[in-house]
Structure 1
Amino acid sequence: MKIAALRNHPFLLLVLKDGESEGYFTPEFMHKTKQQLTDMSLRIASDNLSIIYADQIKKGCEIVLGLSNLGLLELCDNDTEKAKDIIKNQGIVYCFRAGWAKYAQLKKISPSYFEGISLSRYALAINDTADIRLMHAALVSDGYQSAMLLQVYKNIAANYCASALLIDNDEDVLKFELQKFLNTAIALLLIDSDKKVFTNTLYQQLNTYLTNTKKEPLLVKMENCITSFTEQLPLLIKEYLQEVQLLNFNEFRGIINQQVNISIYIQEILELPITVANELNDDFEGGYDFHADDEDDIAYLRPDAP
C-alpha cells in the first residue's frame, strides 16, 4: 500500500512531516517552505479564483497542494527518501512547477479539451489520499481522445461537409455531425455515386432507391458499402471510429429495417447542402428551388389583401 493511503494524508505532507520529525528539514527550512506554499496559494486564488472569500483561498491552497504533490510524485516516483532530497535541494516551488507542467501538458494535447478542465480538478485536501497521478493520467487519456476526435472530424468533413466548416467545441456535437458525414458517405455509395456531397438529383435518386428496394437487398448492399468505405480509411481513423462505434450505422440501419417513412427520416441523418434541405422543405427563402413551387413563391411575395 502506498504511504499516502496508509497514513491518510497526501504524499507531500507526509514527506514534509517525516523530514521535519527526523531533523532532515530544519525549522528555518520548514518556515520558508510553508511561506512559499502560502504565497503560491494566494497567487493561485488571486489569478484563478478570488481572495475575497475564505473558501476560495482554501481552494487555492488545495490546488497548490495538489499540483505540488503531483510534481513531487512525478519527480520521485513515490520514493520517500528521494522526495525529501528533492524538497530540500530543489525546493517546494520546484515541485509545484513540475506539477503545473503536467497540467499544462493537457493544453498541448488538445487546446479545446484543456479549456474545459478546471484547475480545481487538481485540488487536494489535507486528508485526501486520492492518487492524483492516476487522475491526471485519465485526463491525459481523455485529452488524446478529444484531439483524435477533432483530427478525424476534420479529415472526414474535408470530403463530406456540405457547407462552410464551423467546428464546435462540444464533443457531442462533433460526434453527431461526424455521424452525419459518415452516413452521407454510405448513402452516396448506395446509389453508386462517386460524389461526396448530395445534389437535388442525387438525393432524389437515393430516396427512390430506398423506398422502392426491398429491405433484404438494401441491407446487403449497405454492408458492402460499409466494408468498401472502411477499407479506404487510414488505419488510425478507422480504429478510432470503430472504438467510438460510429461505424455501426445503427440509426441508418434502423431506418431501413423499419421501412416506415423512410423519406422523412433519412434526410435527418444525412449531411445535406442548404439548397437540397430547403427544396425538401419547400423553403422559398432558402434560395432557388427549380420552379417546383412557383405559385406559392409568388403568393408569398404578394401583399396581404386590405
Structure 2
Amino acid sequence: MRIAELRNHPFLLLVLKDGESEGYFSPELVDKIKQQLIDMSLRIASDNLSIIYADQINKGCEIVLGITNLGLLALCDNDTDKAKTIIKTQGIVYCFRAGWAKYAQLKTISPSYFDSIAITTYALSVNDTADISARHANLIKEGYKSAKLLDVYKNIAATYCASSLLIDNDEDVLLFELQRYLNSALALLLIDSDKKVFTSSLYQAFNSYILSTKKELILEKIQSSIVTLTGQLSILTKSYLQEIDLLGFSEFKSIINQQVDVAIHIQEILELPITVLNELHDDFEGGYDFHADDEDDIAYLRPDEQ
C-alpha cells in the first residue's frame, strides 16, 4: 500500500487513473468500469443499507471501492502493472468478486462472527489510504480467536456445565461463564473430589473447607490444584486458556485472600446446579444462605401490624 500512502488515494483509484492517463484503458473501458462500479454500489446499498438516502448510497460506493480494492490487491500483489492488466483483461467485477471472496472467508471461520462484522468495515473513501489488506487480515485473526473461544467453551462446558447449555454469541458472556466452569473445577479439586459438578453435599464440604482452613493452606492447595486441573486439559486448550488469562484464577484467590464474607462471595463465581442455588437462598426449605437474607425471613414471619 506504499503507493497509495504516497499519493493519498486507494490503490484501485490510482491504477484506474494511471491506466486512463497513459491511454492503457480506452475511454469505452473507463466508461464501462464507472458504470459497473455505480451498479455494484447501488446493489450493495440496496441489499445492505438504503438507496433512499444519499449518504447511504455514498457508503455503498465506499464499500464497493474497499472490497474491489481488497480483491485487486490480492490478485496483483501490489504490482501496478499487473493490476492494470487484470482490470483490462478480467474486468472490474472480477476484482470485486475476488474481494468479496476474501470478505466471505469470515463466514467460513465462524458464522456468528461474520454476522457481527458490519460490511461497512470494508468501506474506503476516495482519500482513504488505509491498508485494506491489513484490515482484512486482522479481522481474520480476530475471527479465529472468536472461533477458538467458542470451541474451548463448548469443550469445557460439556464437562462442567451444571444446567442445560445455552450458548450465547456474546464473547464477554462466554468468557464469564467459562471462568465459572473453571472455578468450579478448581473448587472440587480443593476438596479432593473427582466429580465435575457440585451436589448439595459436595458444596457443603467445600464451604466447610474454605471456612475452617487457614487461607495460607487454601492458597497453597489452589496452586497444586491448578497444576492438576491444567494437566487434565489438552495442550491446545491449556495454551489458549493461559493466553486469555483464565488459568490464573485471580478472583478466586482474591476472595480467599481477603477473608471477607468468603462463603457469600465464592458462590457468585461458581457454576452451581439450580438445586444447590435454591438451598443457598432459601433458609426455610432446608437449605442455607449464610444468613444473607435473615432480615427478610424474619419480616416475613412477623404478623402484619394493625
Residue aligned with 1:246, SS:
coil
Q: How does 1:106-117 map to 2 (within 5 A)?
A: 106-117=106-117
| Equivalent runs, 1:244-259 vs 2, <5 Å | 244-259=244-259
> What CA deviation, in whole Å up to 9, does each residue of 1:252-302 have, x standing for no partner?
000110111111001000000001001000077xxxx55889xx99xx9xx
Q: Deviations over 1:71-104 (max 9, x none)?
A: 0001111000110111111100011011111111
Paired residue for 2:281? 281
Retained in 1: the 8 A contact 2:40–2:64? yes
RMSD: 2.1
Contact 2:44 2:60 in 1 (8 A): yes
Give aligned pairs, total: 298
Q: TM-score when scaled to structure 1? A: 0.93
Match of 1:183 in 2: 183
The change in CA–CA distance for 1:39 and 1:164 in structure 2 (over 3 A counts) is same
Check whether the contact 2:69–2:96 (CA below 8 A) recurs between aligned residues.
yes
Superposition pairs of residues 25-36 of structure 1, within 5 angstroms: 25-36=25-36
| 1:38-66 superposed Cα distances (whole Å, 9 cap, x missing partner) | 00000000011000000000000000000
SS of corresponding position for 1:166: coil
Measured in 1, the distance between the counterparts of 2:84 and 2:132 equals 19
Aligned counterparts, 1:86-125, within 5 A: 86-125=86-125
Q: Is the 8 A contact 2:280 2:288 kept in 1?
A: no
2:293 is matched with which residue?
none
Query: CA, structure 1 residues 210+146, in 2 after alignment: closer, same or farther (shift >3 Å)?
Result: same
Task: Report the counterpart of residue 83 of structure 2 in structure 1.
Answer: 83
- Are positions 1:208 and 2:205 aligned together? no
- State how far apart, in whole Å, the 1-side matches of 2:151 and 2:34 are: 45
Task: Flag structure 1 segments of 5+ consecutive residues without an equivalent.
Answer: none
- Normalising by structure 2, report the TM-score: 0.93
CA separation in 1, counterparts of 2:26 and 2:235? 58
Query: What's the counterpart of residue 267 of structure 1?
Result: 267
**How far apart are residue 231 of structure 1 and its match?**
1.5
Q: Which aligned pairs between 1:16-55 and structure 2 lie closer than 5 A?
A: 16-55=16-55
CA distance in 2, matches of 1:112, 1:205: 41
Please, which runs of 5 or more residues in structure 2 have no aligned partner?
290-295
Conserved 8 A contact 2:278-2:287: no
